[in-house]
Amino acid sequence: MAVCCVMADTVKIPGLLLTEHEFRVPLDHSAPDGEQITVFAREVADPDGRDRPLLVFLQGGPGQEAPRPSRVPLNPPWLDRTLADHRVLMLDQRGTGRSTPVGTLDGRTPQEQADYLAHFRADAIVADAEWIRRELGVDRWSVLGQSFGGFCALHYLSVAPDSLAEVYFTGGLPPVGLHCDEVYRATFTRMTEINGEYYRAYPGDRDRVRKILDLCEAGEIVLRGGDVLTPRRFRQIGHALGMSGGAERVHYVLERDPSSPSFRHDLADLMPFNGRNPLYAAIHESSYSDGCVTGWSAERVLPDAYGEDSTLLTGEHVFPWMFTDYSELAPLREAAELLAAWEWPSLYDADVLRSCEVPAAAAIYANDPYVDRALSEETARLIPTLRPWLTSEYEHNGLRADGARIMDRLISLARGRL
């Protein structure tokens, strides 16, 4: 069933030419005549670079939309360097941004919710990209994958390498053929180390954390929206520690009076899982499933140390209790349980990756608590054309912190200039 692009408007903003596309695509690409959803993509070009080859940006998540581009101020920071060689197609991955949104899926049974949400993994996102590539009449294009976007890019290399000219990974080169339990054990190991680094930098914060946990236990911290903050939910502020400036951000919230409005407001912003992006919580663990049942993996492999020391903060880890403690996620609680028992198909084909001929480069962050460095290096060794750059200069959000330099190095690596 051919479904064409239903919109293509071009607008100019200072220094950039933006062409906005909306596509109608199948919810389930194996059933093209079934339910349809909209996927939005914004093409960004230098006014003098309208004929440059396309590069598709696949953002982190899952469940987060692409950046909204501007040149004054520059956003995202890697844009100028990339536009020197490409036009950039910023894809609002299905369920995000201007694409058909995913909310609480009211009116559907838990099984219907789960069946729907099962179509929002990397494999479906890549199928959308291929649909769009064909609609635009593009032979090959390049891909830049940040974090979860790198998981999508590796799936792309596994299933449609002939559609790719170059592939770039930043903080998102996933393991291949590994059970998700091994992935979460590795991330907990690094997260425990980061906790130690944080408390050595801010030794007074351990007592602050204990006092806040006591307030949580007594039900005395109520967040905007009315949720009573539980101790286990509070500990998820550790998610910020994996980002550049994250330790300072956490410290400057914790130093405030817990009874102040600013404390409660900014504390809520430190917690990564909320109702704005419900996909992030609902299908996060499935992102690490390369052909396995997740079964609440992070909960299952949580180290004993986190039970013994309540001041240890957790990172990018999803737990079943979140769908109770976060009122905005509660409507998806039963669906999340069903997805935890889902038989997920494999995302990556090791044999295809071993025979890869597509030029590729990856920034691997040595201290990354989200995507383990050693596991990324194993994947890098699997792909003969991939040139890795292991660096301790950046945290997980290096592309946002120093995007021009990172993109320049990756482009040079992929093209054999370094």
CB neighbour burial string for 48-58, b if at least 16 within 10 angstroms, e if fewer: ebeebebbbbb
Domain with CATH 3.40.50.1820 in the chain: 5-177+346-414
Q: Please name the amino acid found at residue 255.
A: E
Residue 136 has pLDDT above 80, yes or no: yes
Q: Which two tokens stand for residue 162?
A: 């002939």
What pLDDT was estimated at residue 1?
A: 43
Global pTM? 0.96
The residue behind tokens 């946990």 is 213
What pLDDT was estimated at residue 328?
A: 95
Which residue, 61, 31, 55, is CA-closest to 133?
A: 55
Q: Are 142 and 165 in contact (CB under 8 A)?
A: yes
Residues with active-site annotation: 147, 368, 396
What pLDDT was estimated at residue 40?
A: 98
Between 387 and 72, the higher pLDDT residue = 387
Confidence of residue 4 (pLDDT cuts 50, 70, 90): low
Measured CA to CA, the distance from residue 319 to residue 336 in angstroms comes to 10
Measured CA to CA, the distance from residue 148 to residue 65 in angstroms comes to 12
State the sign of the Cα–Cα–Cα–Cα dihedral 70, 138, 26, 272: negative
Measured CA to CA, the distance from residue 226 to residue 32 in angstroms comes to 42
What's the distance, Cα to Cα, between the start and end of the chain in Å? Answer: 45
Strands 164-170 and 141-146: parallel
Measured CA to CA, the distance from residue 415 to residue 160 in angstroms comes to 21
Q: For the segment 255-288, what is each residue's pLDDT rounded down to a tens digit?
A: 999 999 999 999 999 988 988 899 999 999 999 9
Give me the CATH topology for the region 5-177+346-414: Rossmann fold (3.40.50)
Measured CA to CA, the distance from residue 332 to residue 110 in angstroms comes to 7
Measured CA to CA, the distance from residue 254 to residue 214 in angstroms comes to 14
Confidence of residue 5 (pLDDT cuts 50, 70, 90): low
Confidence of residue 7 (pLDDT cuts 50, 70, 90): low
Q: Which two tokens stand for residue 10?
A: 């071009």
| One-letter-per-residue 3-state SS of the chain | CCCCEEEEEEEEECCEEEEEEEEEEECCCCCCCCCEEEEEEEEEECCCCCCCCEEEEECCCCCCCCCCCEECCEECCCHHHHHCCCEEEEEECCECCCCCECCCCCCCCHHHHHHHHCCCCHHHHHHHHHHHHHHHCCCCEEEEEECHHHHHHHHHHHHCHHHEEEEEEECCCCCCCCCHHHHHHHHHHHHHHHHHHHHHHCCCHHHHHHHHHHHHHCCCCECCCCCECCHHHHHHHHHHHHCCCHHHHHHHHHCCCCCCHHHHHHHHHHCCCCCCCHHHHHCCHHHHCCCCCCCCHHHHHCCCHHHHCCCCCCCCCCCCCHHHHCCCCHHHHHHHHHHHCCCCCCCCCHHHHHCCCCCEEEEEECCCCCCCHHHHHHHHHHCCCEEEEEECCCCCCHHHHCHHHHHHHHHHHHCCCC
By residue count, the chain amounts to 418
What pLDDT was estimated at residue 8?
A: 76
Which residue, 142, 18, 144, 146, is CA-closest to 70?
A: 18
Neighbour count for residue 276 (Cβ, 10 Å): 9
Measured CA to CA, the distance from residue 273 to residue 265 in angstroms comes to 15
Question: Mean pLDDT, the chain, as a whole number?
Answer: 95
Q: Please name the amino acid found at residue 2.
A: A
